Every structure is written in structure tokens, then in C-alpha cells.
Structure 1
Amino acid sequence: MQEWFATPPGRYLLAWEQAQFDQAVADVFGYHALQLGAAQVEGLRANRMPHRWLALDDPAHLAHAPQAVLLTDFAALPFAANSLDLVVLPHALELSPDPHATLREVERVLVPEGRVVICGLNPTSLWGMRQRRAHLYRRLGFGELFLPEGGEFIGYWRMRDWLRLLSFEVESGRFGVYRPSARSEAWLERSRWMDVAGERWWPIFGAAYFLVAVKRVRGMRLLSPEWRRASARATAPVPIAGKVHRQGRRADGE
């Protein structure tokens, strides 16, 4: 998607996704965060964790990276189990040769209660319909794809099912990008009103979706700050009769 993001519809999609990531990760706290793929999307820009990495799986994409990156297989990340607090995936799953393995690896490296943030293209949208039609035309020997050729788009509800099977709990989800599949900047600007109308009248048919999910671990209960006070009470010395005075009197009544 590197070159496609430079086109008018690519810039339109990128602006929407960047706004979603900035809002979603701003208040996610921890120490270690990782972005997989799509260097044009600065998925961790608004996050304040001290250690943040961008990982790519193709050396050809290094030229588009704005910073130092990790070059790695997304299905075999160089991180220990339960070591990352946040992982963001802008289109990483739909462009992965094995999206199931990538998502399982994300689950492995996330700490319990860690968050994964995913954005993808919606196949049941005006953009998805145009892409399917373009694939048909190409089989007939003519036509041009509207969206990037690589990868397979994963539907919103299918993605939620994958997350649920890996014990993730979806915290929030939304659709966006409702303007028609036009290549012209002028046509996209003329249809700006569809962003407001689409969100109200046909929300599940946006060209992109955005999900935030939390890794849940069965049988684990997070301890709140109250546990320290409860622990202190449990280990406090027990008064012994005849040795502890209250209001100038001994506890045994003397």
C-alpha cells in the first residue's frame, strides 16, 4: 500500500486512520509498544510509552519508513511472551500471507490486559464492491484495481470472531470513510457530506473499520491499589490483653 497511500483516496483513508489511532492510543499506558506494517500510518505517534518500535516484513518498504525499524517476520516476532503492552496493526493482517499466525503471535507477546488496535478495509463497502468488480474485469482482460492488489480483505465481523477465539475482548469498534470510490481529489471533496450521512444512515458500510481489543486471561484478577492496604491490615500486630493501653487504661480493664 506504500504508493497507493499517495493517491487522493489513499490520502483520504490515511487521514481518517491517523485520527483514529491518535485517539485510541493516547491513553494506553505501559512501557513497550509495537506497530506492525504500514509505515505511512504513525500508529504510535500519540502514545507516551518510553519504548516504541515499528516493524516491517519486507525490505522494499524500508525506504518509506520515517525512523529506524525492525525487519522481521510478523508470525515470529523477536519479543518474549507477555512483554508488550500495546500492538497496533494498520492493515498488517489483511496484507499478511498468514493472518491467523500473525494474530496468534500478537496474542503471545501481549501482556494480560494488553491492547491490540487493528484497522482494515471493509469488503462490504462501495470501495470493496469496486475492487471485486475490478478483479472480474481483469480476468476478462481489461480494467484496473482501485485498491492495492496484495492481500485479502478481512470482514469486520470475521475479525471479531478471530479475536474472540484468541480470548480477546473487543473494547470498541467503528466504521469510517464513506465517500465513493473516486480517484479524483475534486470528486472526493464534493462528496464530503457522505462522511456525516454515512455514519448516521449506513454505518456498517464504511470503506474502513477500526477495532480496539483487550487480551483477557482466564482465572487472572488484577490487583488494585487497595491490596496494599488490605495486606497491611492482615499483617498488622494483634494487641495482647494486658499489654496494650487504650485511653490510659490497660486492655484487661486495669
Structure 2
Amino acid sequence: MRQPAATLEAFYKSRLGEAAAQRMGARMLDLWGPCDGQRVLGIGFPAPLLTVWQNDAATCIGAVPEEIGEVRLASEKGQTLCSVPENRLPFPEGLFDRVFLLHALEEADSPRQMLREAWRVLAPEGRIVVAVTNRRSMWSLADNKPFGHGRPWTRQQLVRFLNDSLFQVTASTTAVHMPPLDWRLITGASKSWERAGELILPGLGGVVLVEAVKRLYSKPGGSAAAPVTQAVKASKPKPVMPRKLAGRDAAQSVEKTAIDVLSGADRRSVNQITGAGET
């Protein structure tokens, strides 16, 4: 059973929740950049991370499982959310350039079916990031926090799961290294906790984030996973592998780095995007 929206909202309005959202948002920016002109979809409880791109992306929308109830936090932040059946998204195939999952897989009735729907609405060569509770962290034991509910994952489990679901894993990392304690001394120094955790215990962050690319020709279990790289951690990205842009921007020529800053088509309204006909 999923946690109600009110419980998740109360956490992310707390000092600890705000600090956790900041640390996850910083890691997502490391991976994706601002996503200028891209179409971004968040699945699960995406409100804490939608703010990262809502002012830059052409479309930035969240899909929330209908059983968790109304999400007031999104309205307060000017975000666009839609309530959807857990395993059926109301979007045509290949609509989004970027998809991320937060508070999604851990409590899903069928994680594989949920990921399959994410694959369906993602454009070819589009990129997905799945954020889940790290089984090896203290956060997975904090049952009075949202990350202490549902099924936690190890990085290796999530990498295998994505590789077996027609994705090719390109990067993995962790975030939220501070203890799950709402103390001002901890939340006020969340950046310091993050830097220390990355250096001393890089695998024990509270949240595992794995990025993958939708490859139409990828065979289950056949792709090689990249471990967390220095390029992801570094302040300046370094070229590590070529990447193609997602969807309609595939033909544009850009410098390809471990952290891509993408620019694309003109902005369109959410109504136009979600109302687009299937081809």
C-alpha cells in the first residue's frame, strides 16, 4: 500500500525533507543539466524534483498514482500533475525526452509493469533516472520517513532490473548522505554531509539513482552498466562516452559529455503536449 500524499508532503515541508530534496536535485542536475526545451515527466511523487526543471523544460509534468490522493504541494509550487492508474500512463508513445521515478518502484504492485510504461512514453534514445531507497543506508531503516517504506534496492539490483527491461544503464550514483534526523545541526550542513559521504562512504547514500537510455535494439541483460564515475561527481564534466540526444533533437550536433546540457524545440503548453495525437 502506498503512502498517502499528505504523509509525503509533510516530510518534504520539514527541514529534513527540504534538505533531502536539495541533495537529490543537485545530483539530478549533475546528470541531466537544466533540460532546456526538453519534455520532462516525473512518475510517483515527483513534486520535490520537478522544481529543478519547471522553468527551463518545454514541458514538465508529473504523473501521480491515483491511490495516494491529492498533492497540494505541487499546486503551491505551480507544478502540473495528473492522477493516473499506477501502471497505465495517459500519454502517447515516445512523448517525453526525460523521465524520472521518485517514490515509485518501492511501493509498486508491479515494478516491471511500471517501468515498462515509463519505457513506452520515453522517446528513443531518451534518458530515464530511477531514484529508490538504498537498502544499505540508514534511511531504509527509518520507518517514520518516506524512504523507510516499501522495498529498498541495492545499486546492483536496480542496474540489473533496468538492463533486463530494455534499457542500457549509463551511470549510477547515490545521494542524501546525511543521517535521517531532523536536527538543525544536520540539515543545515547537508552539503558538508554530502561531500563527506561521497569521499568516505560513497555507496551508503540514502537514495540510489541509476540513469539509463532507451535503446530499441537493447537485448535484456545485454548492456554494460557504468559504475558511478568521477565525471558525475566532478564540478566540470569530462567526456566519457558519446550520447545521442533524445527524441526530436537527435539530429542536432552538440559536444557529448558525461553531463549533457540540452537545448531543443520551442516551448509548448501542457495541454498541447498531452493532447497531441498518436502517430
| TM-score clears 0.5 | yes
Tell which has more relative contact order, 1 or 2 (C-alpha 8 A, sep 6+): 2
Q: Deviations over 1:116-165 (max 9, x none)?
A: 1222221201222x33xxxxxxxxxxxxx332264322222111111100
Partner of 1:116: 128
3-state DSSP of counterpart to 1:94: helix
Q: Deviations over 1:6-42 (max 9, x none)?
A: 2332222111012223343336476532111324313
2:12 is aligned, of 5, 14, 23, to 5
In 1, Cα distance between equivalents of 2:32 and 2:178: 26
Partner of 1:80: 92
Give the partner amino acid of 2:137: S
TM alignment of 1:147-186, pairs within 5 A: 147-148=145-146, 150-186=149-185
- 1:171/1:213 contact within 8 Å kept: yes
Instruction: Evaluate the alpha carbon distance shift between residue 99 and residue 30 of structure 1 in structure 2; reply closer, same or farther with a 3 A threshold.
Output: farther
Give the partner amino acid of 1:65: A
In 2, Cα distance between equivalents of 1:84 and 1:103: 14
**Larger Rg computed on CA atoms:** 1
3-state DSSP of counterpart to 1:124: coil
Question: Deviation at 1:87?
Answer: 1.0
Q: Deviations over 1:157-180 (max 9, x none)?
A: 111111100121122211122222
Give the partner amino acid of 1:13: A
In 2, Cα distance between equivalents of 1:206 and 1:61: 30
1:94 is aligned, of 96, 99, 106, to 106
In 2, Cα distance between equivalents of 1:192 and 1:114: 30
3-state DSSP of counterpart to 2:203: helix
Question: Deviation at 1:99?
Answer: 1.8
In 2, Cα distance between equivalents of 1:5 and 1:147: 10
In 2, Cα distance between equivalents of 1:212 and 1:192: 22
In 1, Cα distance between equivalents of 2:52 and 2:87: 24
Structure 2 residue 59 is the aligned partner of structure 1 residue 51 = yes
In 1, Cα distance between equivalents of 2:191 and 2:34: 30
In 1, Cα distance between equivalents of 2:30 and 2:189: 27
- 1:172/1:211 contact within 8 Å kept: yes
Instruction: Evaluate the alpha carbon distance shift between residue 51 and residue 127 of structure 1 in structure 2; reply closer, same or farther with a 3 A threshold.
Output: closer
Q: Unpaired runs of 5+ in structure 1?
A: 132-144, 227-254
Partner of 2:73: 64
The TM-score normalised by the length of structure 1 is: 0.71
In 2, Cα distance between equivalents of 1:168 and 1:105: 13
3-state DSSP of counterpart to 1:158: helix
Percent identity between the two aligned chains: 24
Partner of 1:245: none
- 1:21/1:44 contact within 8 Å kept: no
TM alignment of 1:206-221, pairs within 5 A: 206-218=205-217
3-state DSSP of counterpart to 2:161: helix
Give the partner amino acid of 2:59: H
Give the partner amino acid of 1:50: A
Instruction: Evaluate the alpha carbon distance shift between residue 44 and residue 81 of structure 1 in structure 2; reply closer, same or farther with a 3 A threshold.
Output: farther
Q: Deviations over 1:48-77 (max 9, x none)?
A: 442332211136233222333211113111
The TM-score normalised by the length of structure 2 is: 0.65
Question: Deviation at 1:82?
Answer: 2.5
Partner of 1:146: 144
Question: Deviation at 1:181?
Answer: 2.8
Instruction: Evaluate the alpha carbon distance shift between residue 57 and residue 80 of structure 1 in structure 2; reply closer, same or farther with a 3 A threshold.
Output: same
3-state DSSP of counterpart to 2:21: helix
3-state DSSP of counterpart to 2:128: strand
In 2, Cα distance between equivalents of 1:194 and 1:84: 34
In 1, Cα distance between equivalents of 2:178 and 2:104: 23
1:26 is aligned, of 33, 56, 65, to 33
Aligned length: 210
Structure 2 residue 42 is the aligned partner of structure 1 residue 35 = yes
Give the partner amino acid of 2:11: W
In 2, Cα distance between equivalents of 1:215 and 1:56: 22
